[in-house]
Amino acid sequence: MPFAQLVIGPPGSGKSTYCDGMHQFMSAIGRKCSIVNLDPANDHTSYTSALDIRDLIALETIMADEELGPNGGVLYALEELEHNIEWLQKGLDGLGEDYVLFDCPGQVELFTHHTSLRNIFFRIQKMGYRLVALHLTDSYCLTLPSLFISTLLLSLRSMLQMDLPHLNVLTKIDKIASYGPLPFELEFYTEVQDLPDIVPHLLEENPMMRHPKFEGLNNAVIELVEDFGLVGFETLAVEDKKSMMTLLHSIDRAGGYAFGGAEGANDTVWQVAVRDGMRTMNVRDVQERWIDRKEEFDEMERKKLEEEAKAQEAPSLTDDAGEEEEDSDIEEMAGHVPDSGIKVVRRP
């Protein structure tokens, strides 16, 4: 049974960067992975896609032939893909049991009310794929109460529209400290609790919000989000291994990979660590690493990299020693792996 992530989110949220980083991370832990580009406007990717919608239909051709703008052209392209779904099915059949990352367009209407992308996902699901929708949002949205409220509404609407196992992710969390102090701890935003506490800060942001009609609207929006009780957020720093491992563990649990993936008795230390969630980061760890003590941790990592560089330059360093150092780094990330009761049989 193949598994897949459907990577959605507004423009600039880091979808393509995430697909590239997650592809590299999965390759490092021994999980075979392929990327499918479903964004017809994405003509310069940092990754090599196994399938590309631009091989079926190009955005430039649509805009010229149908006299449409970029947004209309993307919608047209997804409708064209929906009506030619056999092309996608044939391509996915060629990927076998690969774990697939679908890099989707950033037009929000595609995952809020337009039906083509949803219908495509359901057709993929009927092929036997276990899907998880991953909605990415730039963590800059935490800096303004109004942006955060808008993000909550967008996330909730996309969850209801996609109707799939779903995770919301605050990307670029390693940049959050550079935006200035936040009015609340990070946990307030990720857990989406005590939302009425944000109203005073919303009023400070814009005096217009003090008008009675805006006050009623703000309270209605907050009540709506709280009544559904669906929205919460993971965090991600795509270049940080612990952050990637934590997110992948959450995705694996949401999609069922953690309970029956293709990995078996020949798991590496990395694979066991990701599946069992060892040494993953909770929101307090993220707060400490990227907000409270970011400079201190950055300096520690810089010194560690310098020491590793010096060790690699040393003439007495052998290849075996290098492999031991790499193994120790993996073990440090994975922590102690408990006895699961499963006999491990290594391939010759």
Contact status, residue 57 vs residue 83, Cβ threshold 8 Å: no
The two three-digit tokens of residue 132, written as one number: 């998880």
- Output the average pLDDT for the chain: 87
Categorize the per-residue pLDDT at 346 as very low, low, confident or very high, splitting at 50, 70 and 90.
very low
Phi and psi torsions of 100, nearest 5°: -115, 135
Examine the pLDDT at 266 and tell me if it is beyond 50: no
- Check residue 209 and give its pLDDT: 81
| CA gap 255, 126 in Å, rounded | 15
Cα 249 from Cα 88, distance rounded (Å):
28
Mean pLDDT of 93-108: 96
pTM over 0.75: yes
Q: What is the pLDDT of residue 280?
A: 74
pLDDT at 268 over 90: no
CB 9 within 8 A of CB 117: no
If pLDDT is split at 50, 70 and 90, which confidence band does 339 have?
Answer: very low
- Tell me the per-residue pLDDT of 40-89, one tens digit each, with 9 for 90 and over: 999 888 999 999 999 999 899 999 999 999 999 999 999 999 999 999 99
What is the pLDDT at residue 55? 94
Residues shown for the chain: 348
Residue the block writes with tokens 């330059």:
313
pLDDT category at 275 given cuts 50, 70, 90 is: low
Please give the pLDDT value at position 267.
52
Q: Residue 307's pLDDT band (boundaries 50, 70, 90)? A: confident
Q: What is the pLDDT of residues 108-151, one digit of tens each?
A: 999 999 999 999 999 999 999 999 999 999 999 999 999 999 99
**287: nearest Cα among 297, 273, 272:** 297
Backbone phi, then psi, for 28, in 5-degree steps? -70, -30
